[in-house]
Amino acid sequence: MRKLSGFVKTISASVLVLSLNHSATAQDGLDGVEMPGAATVCFGMLGISEQRALQICDALALKENIKARELAQRWIAEQPGSAAAQFALAEVLVRVEGNLARALFHLNRAEALTDYTSMGRAIAAGNAEWHYLTLSQLSYIHQLMGNQEASLSYLDKVEAVYGQEMESFRGWPLIKMQRWDEARESANKVLASSNDPRERSRAWNTLCAVELASLRPSESLEACDKSISEDESLAIDDDSYIDTVYLLNAAEVALSMLRFSEAEEYLTRASRSLNPDSVGDPWINLLYLYMNQSRFDEARRALDNLLIWRDQQEPIVGVMNRAEHFLVSASFLLLAGYPEDAATLSATALNQPDRTGSFSADEAQKDSIAALINYIANRTAYQSKLEQAAWLDFPESLYARADALGFWFKSWRSGRHAASLFAQPQTLMNRLRPYAPLDVHIPEWLEPELVTLLGEGVIGAILEDTLAEGAFTLNEGYYFAYHTEVSALKGNDEATLEYANRALALLPNEEHMLKARLSARVAEVAWRRGNTEVALNNYEVALQSDPSIFRRLGLSLPVNISGVDAPFERQVIAYLEASPRFSAAADGLNLEVFPQNELTICLSTRGGVPLSCVQMGPIDETLTLQPEQQLVQEFHEKTFGLGYDISQSQRMRLLGSSVILSSQNNTDARQNRDAVLRP
């Protein structure tokens, strides 16, 4: 759940006080302040006449960020005792660099220079606007940095000194501190007393989060819809602009109610217009949704759109949601067959602190999910290296096995870290709830990995408490899916089959990836018990819905390998037999190596329906691999990945760039975004 992005529409203190240039109501609190000069908007406030401030505002408006920084620094160097100069540099640091810590330093100096206890004294000193802006921005910065008590304290100061009503801004800090009753009371107070659409939309958004935390999703969705309705009333022209965050929150609530098509509709609506000031990127949510449903082509396009959206974000937004971009990208790369890059992205998300003040989730939640994905990515990279060792020559295969051990150790270390972060029972219960609201998102197809991390006994006990609390009321299929994993790891074949079949019968049709995991578990047990037909059917379903599941679980496919009796073909067959992804079985799936124009490897059902086929193409002379090794490697990449060729440059780009660079206009992206951004 996200806070209203109205806080960051201009990334200035005036946003916190309802954009004084647009709201007569907000201006009423400063009735006694005489604003000299023309009605110039600077830092979101009308009437600022300080020439240096106006120059900085002009530079910021023109995206001349370096010039704005130089002007502000020069002002402070010449007038270090100027509260206006301290505030101006702080504002540049926030807008241009997203450097909240440094901005806080200068805001604290500005506050020390304007320590007024009444509006009269502020006016007499000629610093009323700078004091007002400083207090407002201090509340906002503290809220983003996680100091919610300080944020509320500065809201109190604004009210005490200037008589400005700030009730509509109290809801979010109270939510961050999980003071749900106080947040509900605050929101209802605003709705009862205010006719301002902005204040009312904030209040409804507060109720949206509060009711969701209270396990009342129906009331929450109604509140989210009302926040959208209030925002619609602010539209200036016929093409109504809806704040991205309202739509994303509504989508999150819809998902918690398992209304997948409704959630997708909200997200698609949000994705139609770029919103660089929004703390939410709808393409993150759409990418997760497409992955869950095995809609991989749409997921691949969503990844491109995600990058375009991210490149347009303001720096302050980038420091708030960069971990989200890293983690969803890592999840997709994990499926696509790039586990090492997924490990790098998830490690980056784990090691770079985010500003989570605009999200109901906190830093610890982000870290736990990042550690979990890093654990899975390194474990998958371990399996991938074992595959490579099967077809490499002896010296190279030793290096591959050594690399595999390195990934195994990294996986173990990340797993221990993730387990420690998930150790609290209440945290676990929240995570086991399907599409847990108010938390950092973990794909439902990855959540069963918690059983491996924390142990079957721990999860088995927590599951019963979670069920009793009503977390699986909407669909008990998720409850049985977790029990399938518990039973599989215990080696209880009878219970694994029973729970998996119940889960498969109950889970929503949209849960393709989670069902693929269940099918893989059923296939493994059925094959071990000699039920060949059931096993092969489930192997086929799992492979078609989630080809990467076999690497992630370290499973092998039973195959009957056959081929032409010739030296080249015999070598290819030998590599396939040595691969950990295949085990020889006379009644397994068909795996054939045969000439058809060019040499072809084809995995097919017992009935001859192709599941994955690769034909030898041009030899890549830049590789040290022999032609037969290249063919086997390509077959593994296509069979146990998504088959997308994601260039190294794009994979590096997913790691992002400096927020200073990202604050500049991306000319190419702006020229192409209309062609790429589509629902």
CA–CA separation, 183 and 168 (whole Å): 10
| The pLDDT value given to residue 334 | 96
| The pLDDT value given to residue 302 | 96
DSSP string for residues in 109-148: HHHHHT--SSHHHHHHHT-HHHHHHHHHHHHHHHHHTT-H
| The pLDDT value given to residue 26 | 33
CA–CA separation, 670 and 308 (whole Å): 8
Chain position carrying tokens 């093409």: 239
| The pLDDT value given to residue 239 | 43
| The pLDDT value given to residue 2 | 58
CA trace torsion 345, 348, 352, 356 (10° rounding): 20
User: Can you state the angle between helices 477-490 and 493-506, rounded to 10 degrees?
Assistant: 160
Interior angle at CA 403, CA 401 and CA 405, nearest 5? 70
Structure tokens at 64: 């001349």
CA–CA separation, 91 and 264 (whole Å): 36
Of the candidates 360, 302, 374, 295, the one whose C-alpha atom is nearest the C-alpha of residue 331 is: 374
Q: Which residues, in sequence order, are bridge partners of residue 46? A: 41
pLDDT in tens, 210-259: 877 666 666 666 777 776 676 655 554 434 456 788 788 888 888 888 99
> Are the C-beta atoms of residues 352 and 322 closer than 8 Å to each other?
yes
Task: Assign 652 to helix, strand or coil.
Answer: helix
CA–CA separation, 103 and 106 (whole Å): 5
> Are the C-beta atoms of residues 54 and 40 closer than 8 Å to each other?
yes
| The pLDDT value given to residue 653 | 86
Task: Assign 586 to helix, strand or coil.
Answer: coil
**Which domains does the chain carry?**
18-165 (1.25.40.10), 331-553 (1.25.40), 557-639 (3.30.160)
Instruction: Spell out, as residue ranges, where the chain has pLDDT lower than 50.
Output: 4-39, 236-240, 657-679
Q: Residue 54: is it exposed, middle or buried by C-beta count within 10 angstroms (0-12/13-18/19+)?
A: middle
How many CB atoms are closer than 10 A to CB 536?
22
Chain position carrying tokens 């916190």: 16
Beta strands in 7-143 (DSSP E): 41-42, 45-46
| The pLDDT value given to residue 679 | 34
Interior angle at CA 582, CA 501 and CA 527, nearest 5? 30
pTM of the predicted structure, to 2 decimals: 0.83
Residues 6+ apart with CB under 8 A from 363: 146, 353, 354, 356
**What does the buried/exposed string (b/e) look like for 549-572 if buried means 16 or more CB atoms within 10 Å of the residue's CB?**
bbbbbebbbbbebebeeeebbebb
Task: Assign 528 to helix, strand or coil.
Answer: helix
| The pLDDT value given to residue 211 | 75
Task: Assign 622 to helix, strand or coil.
Answer: coil
Sign of the CA dihedral running 100, 308, 244, 444: negative
Residue 463, phi then psi, degrees to nearest 5: -60, -40
| The pLDDT value given to residue 203 | 87
| The pLDDT value given to residue 86 | 97
| The pLDDT value given to residue 623 | 73
Amino acid at 295: R
DSSP 97: I
pLDDT in tens, 118-128: 999 999 998 89
CA–CA separation, 592 and 602 (whole Å): 5
